[in-house]
């Protein structure tokens, strides 16, 4: 078996999710190659070559891939991937965009968002927003798979010494062009890979009150998230949303503040190692999944938390 | 221009999902069904394009058992002009759905195809992109804004870390994300009128598509449940437990 992993990156840095996907590839077994498609992305190729367990890194460096347009990546990955038994990518918005195109071009099914590998053709994935877990077997000769990164512990990012090969395959479908982007700037760790996440819900009452959470988060080196209710109420932007319709997180510590614990939120965070809930409603469903629950008014508890953390950190 | 919207009949999003005791799937007997929420957003977007004078005709298509016609009628009540029902009682997987929709696209020749980004039952997030690949169209996935300008459509996409805007040549495929719009409710007069709107029924065989599922579901289980932990009395106790018991700070 031979597995092609499509690297997740921003043309300058390899994203950790790639290491999680390589871990999923290792669970399948076989030679693992990594494809880095981007523009001026040589450094990413070097970084990928150091990842544990990688056999060969293929770099497709061209303006056509600079913004990861699904039409172009789809054609490239279908072309490069047709010689492999498995093609894997992280189930982020980039992988979700181009991978189904790859599958359709190769006339195979896609298995989305896998959480576990049972065997080379059988995988476990969530359905119904994580309210049911399906074990799915693929009969296709090439398995196209997106991987839920938080479900696999990453391989080491250092120590490997894969060869790096330049590809001169240029696929510009000519169907789409990049117009612009607005990316949220933050010095805090990325929500998807942070070790600690502090999230606020509708109980925060407005966007300004999220500053309280940011102060606590900065003490602990944590990322700040939000429930869909807080996003829909306009308190914070959508890219902070944790849940089935937002980011799936699985940090060491998840602190839910003023979050009731709707099913769709729980689907995004219940794999966290330790969950803390702070809510004044004793009956809130979030307490049913929390390891430590504090029934309190968050506007008193969060400033106290900041003070107590200053004492111990 | 003509807009094609694909809608799927799924378990209502308010219903608590129960796994069958024999682990063969989710219990759908006597469960309320509805249009997939992302598909409602797709229908709403098409209707708004028509209200702006951009779209001239909205064709709504659904694949599945006879009962799907309820969801087609809902879309017609919301403002779609005409319905197509591809009737089958078999399981239809994403690739097959994309092939069926491709043959509808070839017949109808819409300028824009709008679908939900995923259905809330199988959570695959595949059909729109597969349809785009099979028909050679560009795709604007996870759309939060759709602006048609001449022979192009600008789609603002919700991506990890923010928003990204792409320009696509028409015809194109758009898949909807949650913040694209807030769907309206159908009024009673429109529900009555929808009953008279045309609805064509056909089968996959009529479209020359053979259903051949590649994936088989071996079992479906309830997720491992988390146990509730302890309640702490105050913040000091919480911090102490996090530091000395859980050792996560």
DSSP of B109-151, one letter per residue? --SEEEEES--TTT----HHHHHHHHHT-EEEEEEEEEEEETT
How far apart CA A31 and CA A106 sit, in angstroms, is 21
Centre a 10 Å sphere on the Cβ of residue B221 and count the other Cβ atoms it contains. 12
Sign of CA dihedral B184, B185, B186, B189: negative
Q: Mind listing the pLDDT tens digit for each residue in A57-113? A: 999 999 999 999 999 999 999 999 999 999 999 999 999 999 999 999 999 999 999
The answer to whether the annotation marks A127 as part of a ligand binding site is no
Task: Calculate the CA A154 to chain-centre distance.
Answer: 12
Domains recognised in chain A with CATH numbers: 2-167 (3.40.50.620), 196-312 (3.40.50.1220)
**A241 annotated as a binding-site residue:** yes
Per the CB < 8 A criterion, the answer to whether A293 and B232 are in contact is yes
Q: Which of A280-289, B157-166, B194-203 has the lowest mean pLDDT?
A: B157-166
Q: Is the pLDDT of residue A184 over 80?
A: no
Q: How confident is the model at residue A245 (pLDDT cuts 50, 70, 90)?
A: confident
State the nearest Cα–Cα gap between B197 and chain A, in angstroms.
33
Instruction: Please give the residue range of the domain that contains residue B216.
Output: 2-244
Q: Is B67 domain-assigned?
A: yes
A263 CB neighbours in chain B (<8 A) are 16
Chain B residues with CB-CB distance to A298 below 8 A:
none
Burial (CB count <10 Å: 0-12, 13-18, 19+), residue A157: middle
The answer to the question of whether A45 is labelled as a binding residue is no
Paired tokens of A118: 């049972």
* Number of domains, chain B: 1
Q: How confident is the model at residue B160 (pLDDT cuts 50, 70, 90)?
A: confident
Residue A243 labeled ligand binder = yes
Helix (H, G, I), strand (E, B) or coil at B26: strand
Residue B6 inside a domain? The answer is: yes
What is the pLDDT confidence band of residue A238, given thresholds at 50, 70 and 90?
A: confident
The 3 state secondary structure assigned to B159-228 is: ECCEEEEEEEECCEEEEECHHHCCCCCCCHHHHHHHCCCCEEEECCCCCCCCCCCCEEEEEEECCCCCCC
Name the residue facing A133 among B163, B223, B236 (closest C-beta): B223
**Mean of the pLDDT values across residues A8-20?**
96
Q: Using one digit for the tens of pLDDT, what is the confidence trace for B180-224?
A: 999 999 999 999 999 999 999 999 999 999 999 999 999 999 988
- C-alpha to C-alpha distance for A98 and A88, rounded to whole angstroms: 11
Do B98 and A104 make contact, defined as CB atoms within 8 angstroms? yes
| A246 at B interface, C-beta within 8 A | no
Predicted confidence at residue A237, as pLDDT, reads 87
A30's torsion region: left (phi>0), alpha (psi -120 to 50) or beta?
left
d(CA A273, CA A129): 20
Q: Kindly state whether A119 is in contact with chain B, defined as any CB-CB distance less than 8 angstroms.
A: no
- Output the pLDDT for position B79: 98
Confidence category of residue A140, pLDDT binned at 50, 70, 90: very high
Please check if A264 is assigned to a binding site: yes
CB spacing of A239 vs B226 below 8 angstroms: no
Could you report the per-residue pLDDT of B228-240, keeping only the tens digit for each?
899 999 999 999 9
Tell whether A71 lies on the interface with B, counting CB pairs under 8 A: yes
* pLDDT confidence band for A247 (50 / 70 / 90): confident
What distance in Å separates the CA atoms of residue A246 and residue A167, rounded to the nearest whole number? 34
Asked if residues A236 and A210 have their Cβ atoms less than 8 Å apart, the reply is yes
- Does A163 contact B at CB distance below 8 Å? no
pLDDT at B195 (0 to 100)? 97
On whether the CB atoms of residues A219 and A304 are closer than 8 A, the answer is: no
Whichever domain contains B184, its CATH number is 3.40.50.620
pLDDT at A190: 83
Q: Residue B123: which of A112, A276, A309 has the nearest Cβ? A: A112
In this predicted structure, the answer to whether residue B40 has a pLDDT above a threshold of 80 is yes
The answer to whether A261 is a known ligand-binding residue is yes
Q: What is the mean pLDDT of residues A256-263?
A: 95
Establish if A288 touches chain B: CB-CB under 8 angstroms: yes
Residues A135-157, mean pLDDT to the nearest whole number: 96
Does B173 fall in a domain? yes
- Span B53-107, pLDDT tens digits: 999 999 999 999 999 999 999 999 999 999 999 999 999 999 999 999 999 999 9
Quote the mean pLDDT of chain A.
95
Q: Which residues of chain A neighbour B234 with C-beta distances below 8 Å? A: 294, 296, 304
- The reply to whether residue A308 touches residue B236, judged by beta carbons under 8 angstroms, is yes
Residue B249 domain-assigned (yes or no)? no
- Comparing alpha-carbon positions, the chain A residue that sits nearest to B120 is A128
Share of chain B above pLDDT 90, in %: 94
Q: Give the distance from residue B166's alpha carbon to the nearest chain A alpha carbon, in angstroms.
A: 5
How far is A36 from B29, CA to CA, in rounded Å?
47
From B95, B123, B248, residue closest to A129, measured CB to CB: B123
Please answer whether residues B203 and A121 qualify as being in contact, where contact means their C-beta atoms are separated by less than 8 angstroms.
no
Lowest mean pLDDT among A232-241, B17-26, B67-76: A232-241
For residue A224, give the nearest of A251, A205, A261, A260 by alpha carbon.
Answer: A251
Q: In the prediction, which pLDDT does A185 show?
A: 74
* Residue carrying structure tokens 């919480």: B238
Which is it for strands A176-183 and B162-169: parallel, antiparallel or unpaired?
antiparallel
Task: Copy the structure tokens of residue B232.
Answer: 């702490």
| pLDDT score of A266 | 92
- Measured CA to CA, the distance from residue A258 to residue A80 in angstroms comes to 48
Any idea how long chain A is?
A: 313
The Cβ of residue B89 has, within 10 Å, a number of other Cβ atoms equal to: 8
pLDDT for the residue numbered A48: 98
Query: Is residue A245 a known part of a binding site?
Result: yes
Contacts of A112 (CB under 8 A, 6+ apart): A91, A96, A125, A145, A146, B123, B124, B125, B126
B196/chain A closest Cα distance in angstroms: 34
Residue A246 has pLDDT above 80, yes or no: yes
Q: How many CB atoms lie within 10 A of CB B207?
A: 18
CB contacts, 8 Å: A93 with chain B = 141-142, 157-160
Q: Is residue B170 part of a domain?
A: yes
């Amino acid at each position: 078996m031979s597995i092609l992993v499509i690297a997740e990156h921003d043309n300058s840095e390899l994203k950790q999710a790639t290491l999680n996907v390589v871990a999923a590839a290792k669970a399948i077994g076989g030679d693992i190659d990594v494809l880095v498609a981007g523009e001026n992305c040589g450094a990413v190729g070097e970084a990928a070559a150091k990842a544990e367990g990688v056999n060969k890194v293929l770099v497709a460096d061209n303006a056509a891939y600079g913004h990861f347009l699904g039409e172009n990546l789809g054609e490239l990955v279908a072309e490069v991937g047709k010689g492999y038994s498995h093609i894997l990518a992280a189930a982020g918005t980039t992988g979700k965009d181009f991978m189904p195109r790859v599958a359709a071009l190769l006339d195979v099914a896609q298995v989305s968002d896998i959480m576990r590998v049972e065997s080379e053709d059988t995988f476990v994935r969530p359905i119904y927003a994580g309210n049911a877990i399906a074990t799915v077997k693929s009969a296709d000769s090439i398995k196209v798979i997106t991987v839920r990164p938080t479900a696999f512990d990453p391989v080491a990012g250092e120590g490997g010494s894969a060869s790096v090969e330049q590809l001169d395959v240029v696929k510009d479908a000519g169907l789409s062009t990049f117009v612009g982007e607005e990316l949220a700037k933050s010095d805090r760790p990325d929500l998807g890979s942070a070790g600690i996440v502090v999230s606020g819900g509708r109980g925060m009452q407005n966007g300004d009150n999220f500053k309280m959470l940011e102060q606590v988060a900065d003490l602990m080196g944590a990322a700040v998230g939000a429930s869909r209710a807080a996003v829909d109420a306009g308190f914070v932007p959508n890219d902070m949303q944790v849940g089935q319709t937002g980011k799936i997180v699985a940090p060491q510590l998840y602190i839910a503040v003023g979050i009731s614990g709707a099913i769709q939120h729980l689907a995004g965070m219940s794999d966290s190692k330790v969950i803390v809930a702070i809510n004044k409603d004793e009956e809130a469903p979030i307490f049913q999944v929390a390891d430590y629950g504090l029934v309190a008014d968050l506007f008193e508890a969060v400033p106290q938390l900041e003070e107590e953390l200053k004492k111990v950190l | 221009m003509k807009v094609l919207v694909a809608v799927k009949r799924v378990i209502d999003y308010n219903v608590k999902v129960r796994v069958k005791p024999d682990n063969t799937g989710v219990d759908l007997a006597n469960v309320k069904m509805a249009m997939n929420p992302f598909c409602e957003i797709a229908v709403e977007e098409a209707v708004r394009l028509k209200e702006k004078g951009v779209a001239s005709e909205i064709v709504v298509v659904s694949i599945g058992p006879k009962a799907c016609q309820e969801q087609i009628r809902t879309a017609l009540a919301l403002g779609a002009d005409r319905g197509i029902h591809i009737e089958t009682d078999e399981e239809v997987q994403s690739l097959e759905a994309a092939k069926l929709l491709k043959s509808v696209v070839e017949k109808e020749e819409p300028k824009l195809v709008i679908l939900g980004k995923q259905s809330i039952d199988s959570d695959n997030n595949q059909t729109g992109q597969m349809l785009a690949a099979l028909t050679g169209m560009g795709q604007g996935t996870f759309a939060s804004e759709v602006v048609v300008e001449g022979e192009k459509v600008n789609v603002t996409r919700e991506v990890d870390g923010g928003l990204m805007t792409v320009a696509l040549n028409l015809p194109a495929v758009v898949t909807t994300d949650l913040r694209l719009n807030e769907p309206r409710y159908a009024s009673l007069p429109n529900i009555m009128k929808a009953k008279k709107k045309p609805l064509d029924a056909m089968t996959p065989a009529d479209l020359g598509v053979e259903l051949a599922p590649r994936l088989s579901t071996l079992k479906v289980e309830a997720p491992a449940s988390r146990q509730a932990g302890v309640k702490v009395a105050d913040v000091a106790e919480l911090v102490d437990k996090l530091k000395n018991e859980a050792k996560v700070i």
